[in-house]
Structure 1
Amino acid sequence: MDVRAMVDALVAADKAPKEAQLNRLEGTTKTKVSALGQFRSALSSFETALKKLNSAPLYQQRSAASADESIVTVTAGSKAVAGNYDVKVFELAQGSKVSLAGVDSADTVIGSGTLTIQIGEDSFDVEIAEGADTLAGIRDAINAAGKDKGLNATIVSDPSGPGGSRLILSSSATGADNDIKVTATASGSGDLSLLEFPASASAPTGERAPRLLMAASDARLSIDGIMLSSASNTIDDAIDGVSLTLNAAQIADESGAVKPVSLTVAEDLETVKTSVTEFVDAYNKLVGTIGALTKVTPGTGGDDQPSTGALVGDASVRSFMNSVRSELSSQSDGELRILADLGITTERDGKLKLDTAKLDKVLESGTDKLSAFFTGENGLMVRLESRVKPYTQTGGLLDNRDKALQNTMSSVRDQQEALERRTASLESRLLAQFNAMDSLVGNLMGTSNYLTGVLESLPGVVKPSK
């Protein structure tokens, strides 16, 4: 007997019905999990678009442009008033830059002690230790202590000239009252006072004398003919809600005149328009996703069955879309009453269509109308968010559905494991039974053959003729 073939056939016959049932349930559940994931993704995009349009600051944003950004750049906040401004930049604000006294080389020992460096009202100490009191060591100590103060030290050398090597101190603190001052307190050998600025009595004269390379100064500019000065090249208080950044001083023409740079501040209509477009696109994506997930495609006849989307007949999806469509078609108070008033209409397939020309006309009359229509306690976006939130919030409808499906998947896996264990047990039992039967049959056949031989050997037994 072919024991293995018989056991495999019996095991397969026992396992097949339950296995097919579990495979069908697993496939259906996976399809629904995937479908709910697609629905959740489309809902998330739609909710993000709703939140943008439901933000009051969106309608208060201002755009700002400069006719020449190499001279001045401009940004505007929500408090800025729309208007045009003429700006002239005569001088940029600059920090102090000084050259300390020259010495023979960067390896020249100056002396230990303390350097006190003052930049305007701010000051800090630089400790110069013995063994690190060369010009190069002092440079490194100044850079370490001054990195958070906006002070930088470099060494400029003229080996073949009379100037020698000297420290150049540069400050990033702009404004007329931010000049660099250096005082020294010696604590060992050498003469640290050599590096004082303004120069000490012991400082060298001539080519190695300390020098002022650049005095700290204010920016000088005019806005619509009004002269202004600023300690910084970033000016936030000249025009309410507007920030100016001066990038370069202008050069006067042959007549000595400076051509003004035109600045324009206006309502940021493009950002509002983009947010409205994103809302329409997100809604259409949502409608398309739900349509695909609830679509029924008829069969071609015969045994070809109709194909259905994973969420066909899903009551929660149908209820959601009905509530959203109801909100989109309801009227609001104010100048804008329905979406069609701002160029958004519903097409035959349920998607929205945006008339950008009509929206532009509404925007040109000001963003206040759109703000009143979309935001506020009874705004359209608030009402739509209230329809979406029960589905997307933690512990909401989609979360609960997903958890239930995951529990089903877990149950299927448990049943599949139990089926495998039961099948293995059945296989072992059948193999044992059939092998025992096969062994018994073999023994019986052996006994039969033995008895036949014995009987044939008895005297008087008539043997069959061959």
Structure 2
Amino acid sequence: MAGITGIGSGMDINSMVGALLQAETAPKAAQLSRLDKAAEAKFSALGTLQGALGTFQTALKDLNKASLYDNLKASSSASDTLGVSAEKTALAGKYSVEVEQLATSSQVATAPLAKDFTAAAAGTLTFGIGADDEKPVSIQVAEGATLTEIRDALNEQLKDKGISANIVNNPADGTSRLVLTSKETGEGKDIQVSGALGDVDFAAGLQTLQPAQNAKFSVDGLQLESATNTVKDVIPDVEFTIKAKTEENKPVTVTVGEDKAGVKSQLKKFVDAYNQLMTTAKDLTRVTSVGEDKAPVTGGLVGDATVRNLVNGVRAELSNPGSGSGDLRALTDLGISLDKDGKLQIDDKKLDAALETNFDQVGNFLTGEGGLMTRMESRISAFAGKDGIIGTRQKSIEAQRSDITKQQERLAERSAKIEARLFKQFNTMDALVGQLSQTSSSLAASLASLPGFGSGN
């Protein structure tokens, strides 16, 4: 607006200019707004489709890895008692394991000491692991050192030795004990203590709370021992983690074999990704009626050839028989079939049976040059990724929206110029009308002052 207008003529110039400007620019502005909203909706819809397709493509690639079918998995019938893992070089087999005892570390306690104990004299305390420890640690204790100070000194200087110290107080008689715990397990790794502080000999009255001992267990009846609870290569390329003793006559069964659970998990991810892709495509092309007097609600890609071609290609490949041999030629042989809504569903019993009896054929059917996953990947590869059909269309829409934005900016500049021109014209007219009005008033006043003008002569 150009300030206060219409003073000379009494006309509402602001409203008049606004109406003319609206008539001049509104149709183009509305058109650009509609185009921008439509482009934004299509870009978003393509992005949703691209996301679902990317998830499906990942599932295909993961299921197409030959290493998935080469993996060996070790399982334990009682994982809270015996954990187990295996390298892919391990041999398949089944083993019976019994655990008699766990490997433990040494824990000892000094004889009871006064709660307010202090070292009567300076001295040296020496600590080692096992009777033949070649590198024991000697700690100097100053005269008057409290039990707390001694504990702190031990923890600081024995941490590399794997020994920790603490104080346990007896509320019944007010005495305290220094308790030492080692991290190192295995027979012969007991904590050794020597040295005295004044008349207190720390080795005297040393009580064993827990002896250092080996783990004792058997594999298929063979009696074995280990200094640690992590046992490697008792069975080549298989590792045990002993966690608890087994109950009498209840051995743990360890099975080393193909990773059927891993393959089944990837197949389920494939089914979920396929169903999500089909659901997304259906939602994006859906037309929903909302009443006789209202326009239907449509998805962002109704009638879109890209969606139609993608879906038809995937479905066609899904129904093509594979190049495999034996009992596996189609997904239905794995217990994976289409339901009435066009979604994949899994028959777990049939899938488990196929993995159990035809594991090698499963890999041959799904992977490799003629495998289902490779064939499906070839169907979707042209659509996926930033340089695929969908990504290219998104780039085109981005360019279109950029052009719309530029047109809107030019329209805004043109609107400003039109507004300025209209205000200039109307204000000029307003000033002229004001001048004519003043001239008329002046003329009327002059005539009225003439002799006889008011007498009717």
TM interval, short-chain normalised? 0.7 to 0.9
Find the aligned partners of 1:287 and 1:228 in 2 and give their Cα distance. Answer: 56
Report the alpha carbon displacement of residue 374 of structure 1 after superposing the two structures with TM. 1.4
Amino acid paired to 2:32: L
1:288 counterpart = 2:279: yes
Instruction: Choose the corresponding residue for 1:230, options 226, 232, 246.
Output: 226
Q: Is the 8 A contact 1:96 1:180 kept in 2?
A: yes
Q: Is the 8 A contact 2:104 2:215 kept in 1?
A: yes
Number of the residue aligned with 1:263: 253
Report the alpha carbon displacement of residue 221 of structure 1 after superposing the two structures with TM. 1.4
Instruction: Choose the corresponding residue for 1:178, options 189, 199, 203.
Output: 189
Q: Is the 8 A contact 2:125 2:141 kept in 1?
A: no
Instruction: Choose the corresponding residue for 1:194, options 193, 196, 214.
Output: 196
1:275 counterpart = 2:256: no
- What are the Cα deviations for residues 63-104 of structure 1, in whole angstroms up to 9, with x where unaligned? 62325x554444555555555543332221111122346654
Report the alpha carbon displacement of residue 226 of structure 1 after superposing the two structures with TM. 1.0
Report the alpha carbon displacement of residue 134 of structure 1 after superposing the two structures with TM. 3.4
CA RMSD of aligned residues (A): 3.8
Instruction: State the TM-score, normalizing by the size of structure 1.
Output: 0.80
Count, aligned residues:
441
Q: Which moved more, 1:75-84 or 1:31-40?
A: 75-84
Distance 1:281 1:146, change over 3 A: same
Number of the residue aligned with 2:6: none
Q: Secondary structure at the match of 2:180?
A: strand
Q: Is the 8 A contact 1:116 1:123 kept in 2?
A: no
- What are the Cα deviations for residues 199-240 of structure 1, in whole angstroms up to 9, with x where unaligned? xx976389x533443331101112222101111123232334
Number of the residue aligned with 1:186: none
Report the alpha carbon displacement of residue 170 of structure 1 after superposing the two structures with TM. 0.5
Q: Which moved more, 1:131-140 or 1:111-120?
A: 111-120
Find the aligned partners of 1:142 and 1:394 in 2 and give their Cα distance. Answer: 63
Find the aligned partners of 1:285 and 1:334 in 2 and give their Cα distance. Answer: 30
Report the alpha carbon displacement of residue 154 of structure 1 after superposing the two structures with TM. 0.8
- Which runs of structure 2 are paired with 1:371-386 in the superposition (5 Å)? 371-386=363-378
Question: Any gaps of 5 or more consecutive residues in structure 2?
Answer: 1-10
Distance 1:129 1:406, change over 3 A: farther
- What are the Cα deviations for residues 96-132 of structure 1, in whole angstroms up to 9, with x where unaligned? 1223466544651377787664336695757657599
Report the alpha carbon displacement of residue 171 of structure 1 after superposing the two structures with TM. 1.0
Distance 1:308 1:165, change over 3 A: closer
Q: Secondary structure at the match of 2:97?
A: strand
Q: Is the 8 A contact 2:125 2:139 kept in 1?
A: yes
Q: Is the 8 A contact 2:334 2:351 kept in 1?
A: yes
Find the aligned partners of 1:14 and 1:175 in 2 and give their Cα distance. Answer: 94
Q: Which moved more, 1:44-53 or 1:266-275?
A: 266-275
Q: Secondary structure at the match of 2:437?
A: helix
Distance 1:3 1:353, change over 3 A: same
Amino acid paired to 2:374: V
Q: Is the 8 A contact 1:85 1:264 kept in 2?
A: yes
Number of the residue aligned with 1:13: 23
Q: Secondary structure at the match of 2:189?
A: coil
Number of the residue aligned with 1:367: 359
Instruction: Choose the corresponding residue for 2:427, options 435, 440, 462.
Output: 435
Number of the residue aligned with 1:188: none
Q: Is the 8 A contact 2:154 2:165 kept in 1?
A: yes
- What are the Cα deviations for residues 248-272 of structure 1, in whole angstroms up to 9, with x where unaligned? 3357xxxxxx323231526553443
Find the aligned partners of 1:177 and 1:377 in 2 and give their Cα distance. Answer: 59
Q: Secondary structure at the match of 1:238?
A: coil
Find the aligned partners of 2:134 and 2:357 in 1 and give their Cα distance. Answer: 51
Number of the residue aligned with 1:143: 155
Find the aligned partners of 1:384 and 1:5 in 2 and give their Cα distance. Answer: 64
Instruction: Choose the corresponding residue for 2:301, options 311, 316, 325.
Output: 311
Instruction: State the TM-score, normalizing by the size of structure 2.
Output: 0.81
Q: Secondary structure at the match of 1:109?
A: coil
- Which runs of structure 2 are paired with 1:55-204 in the superposition (5 Å)? 55-59=65-69, 60-62=71-73, 64-67=75-78, 71-75=81-85, 78=88, 84-100=94-110, 103-105=113-115, 107-109=117-119, 117-119=127-129, 125=137, 128=140, 133-147=145-159, 150-158=162-170, 165-182=176-193, 193-194=195-196, 204=201
